[in-house]
Amino acid sequence: MCGRFVSATPPDQVAGYFDIGEPEVLLEPSYNVAPTNDVYAVLSDGTARHLDAFHWGLVPLWAKDPKIGSKMINARAETLAEKNAYKSAFKKRRCIIPADGFYEWKKDPAAPPKTKKQPYFIHRPDDEPYAFAGLWEVWRGPDKDQEPLRSCTIITTSPNEEMAKIHDRMPVILPPSAWDTWLDRDNDDLDLLGKLLVPSAPQIITMHPVSYDVNKVSNKDASLIEEIDAEAPEDGALL
């Protein structure tokens, strides 16, 4: 699962990393992106890549209420082609969700009773962005005058050796060599696309324990990613 991540790199730097022109949107930097927040996503129009903003939590075309998106922040790679919520987007509407890193929680008997888990920040050793594989949709709803809702989800897979130390799932992290194939809107070869949805190389994963302050979604500042002494007592907060 990927339930929180960091998106703090300026959009022009994100655009440069993904070989995109001038960014079309500007979001506030966040060290604690949470479900239902707006997030950056990289898409291709067939000739060039674009950086746009989407609501995190995919709302399927057939949804009666957009609130369903809060339950669809992640999509399992193993069942994309089968689930009604994802199979159309898997075939036609794929994206890359940039992230400076993400958080995961590990069960820890030393953690405060209210949390029972120690949060960790996971990022690349070289601090370059991760390229999460994602899907997107546009939901128009029953009201014709309502603004269409653009939403996305992050695809997860089984963990690599490093992630397995703390969790049984991880985001699909696409290497640069896979970006064109994944973003190609004319590519509907699901077998080929499915082969991209594998655990990343463990060499791009490093992690350290961070403060329980990340448990509170209103906390968004850079102190959240600072390493702490996990053995030291700390007051926790509920997720």
Instruction: Going from the first residue of the chain to its last (239 residues), give the mean pLDDT of each consecutive group of 10, the final group possibly shorter.
Output: 94 94 89 97 94 96 92 97 95 97 91 84 97 96 82 98 96 98 96 97 97 96 94 51
Closest Cα partner for 182 from 136, 138, 123?
136
Q: Which pLDDT score, from 0 to 100, does residue 111 have?
A: 75
Q: Which pLDDT score, from 0 to 100, does residue 58 have?
A: 97
8 Å CB contact between 205 and 166: no
CATH of the domain at 65: 3.90.1680.10
113 domain residue, yes or no: yes
Rounded CA separation 89/93 (Å): 4
Q: Residues 95, 104, 152, 162: which is the catalytic one?
A: 104
Q: Which pLDDT score, from 0 to 100, does residue 235 have?
A: 52
151 domain residue, yes or no: yes
Strand order in the sheet with 117-123: 30-33, 5-7, 101-107, 117-123, 206-209
8 Å CB contact between 58 and 85: yes
238 domain residue, yes or no: no
Q: Other CB atoms closer than 10 Å to residue 76's CB: what's the count?
A: 16
How many domains is the chain built from? 1
Q: Residues 2, 95, 137, 162: which is the catalytic one?
A: 2
239 domain residue, yes or no: no
DSSP the chain: ----EEE-S-HHHHHHHTT--S-S-----EEEE-TTSEEEEEEE-SSSEEEEEEEES---TT-SSGGGGGG-SEEEGGGTTT-TTTHHHHHH-EEEEEESEEEEEEE-TTS-TTT-EEEEEEE-TT-PPEEEEEEEEEE--S-TTSPPEEEEEEEEE---TTGGGT-S-EE-B--HHHHHHHH-TT---HHHHHTT-SPPPGGG-EEEE--GGGGSTT--SGGGGS---TTS-------
Domain limits for position 51: 5-225
232 domain residue, yes or no: no
13 domain residue, yes or no: yes
Q: Which pLDDT score, from 0 to 100, does residue 152 have?
A: 98
The answer to whether residue 2 is catalytic is yes
126 domain residue, yes or no: yes
64 domain residue, yes or no: yes
Q: What is the pTM of this model?
A: 0.93
